[in-house]
Amino acid sequence: MTRPNSVLYNLTRLNVQDSEVSLILITNKMEFREKLEARVISTFPHMTIHFPAYTAPELEMILWDRVREGVNDGVITEEDGVVQLCAAMIANEDGSARKAIQLLKTAITIAENEGSKKVTTAHVRGAYRVLEDELIAETIKELPKHLKLTLLAVSCALKSGLVPNLTTGEAYALYKKLCRACTSEPVSQRRFSDFLNQLDEIGLVNVTLRNAGRGLTRKITIERRSIDNYLRSLSQDEFLEPLVEEFSKNPRSWIYTDYFE
């Protein structure tokens, strides 16, 4: 029994004699109930209350409260469209008030660092990119070792400019070189393909099918701006730092050098 199931299992059995225990569970994971074991569900009658995500107008109200409390007059005005843009951007994602507040806070910080007396929509867009990069960095940090090696192989190949139409076979060949360089046993190409699918599912790479004349093959791409961000994030791993550093010295020749042979 997993820990969450074990805790709930024990709590739901605390009701003895005249004592009653009421449980209030708060989660942002809609699939939470599906992960409960049958023995827990059987003694856990409950009512679900769903709190919908904040809408853009609601987020605006929250942000304006923060502006009035913590920002000097004239720095952010309704005419500037700053609060409206923050609210719209986050409402289009998941409607998180925390994210909206963080976006506005980051935009203010950027404006301060630039010496600007006003926060503009350009600062908001810049802040959005900063937060997006931070989220990506955190996602990469939590990846298992071989998923990081897979992402590094794809990033290096595309960064070099030598393989613009990167295929699974080409990426796998570089992945194996990387594994040999760090004395790690490579997985099979089939398992490597699974890694690519996982990276595609979480949005770090884009894998598409294309007709190569002799049947369908997979093309792997990454947005140009994202590649540099990925390499920076991967270099924070002490295990991968030497590989990223070696690649950075000469990206194009590095792909074909016998350094990894």
Query: Does residue 71 have a pLDDT over 60?
Result: yes
- What phi-psi label fits residue 235: left (phi over 0), alpha (psi between -120 and 50 degrees) or beta? alpha
Query: pLDDT tens for residues 38-51?
Result: 777 777 777 788 77
Q: How many CB atoms lie within 10 A of CB 64?
A: 15
Q: How far from each other are the two terminal CA atoms of the chain, in whole angstroms?
A: 46
Give me the helices (H) in the chain, please. Answer: 3-11, 38-41, 56-70, 82-91, 97-113, 121-141, 145-160, 168-181, 189-201, 224-234, 241-249, 251-256
Least confident of 19-23, 50-54, 73-77, 119-123: 19-23
Opening angle at CA 222, ends 220 and 223, nearest 5: 150
Q: What is the percent of the chain with per-residue pLDDT over 70, rounded to a whole number?
A: 86
Q: Residue 120 carries which side chain, given as an amino acid letter?
A: T
Torsions phi, psi of 221, nearest 5? -135, 160
Kindly list the domain boundaries of the chain, sorted by start residue: 3-41, 56-140, 143-260
As a whole number of angstroms, the distance between CA 144 and CA 199 comes to 11
56-140 has which fold?
Helicase, Ruva Protein; domain 3 (1.10.8)
State the architecture of 143-260 in CATH terms: Orthogonal Bundle (1.10)
Query: pLDDT tens for residues 112-151?
Result: 999 999 999 999 999 999 998 888 899 999 999 999 999 9
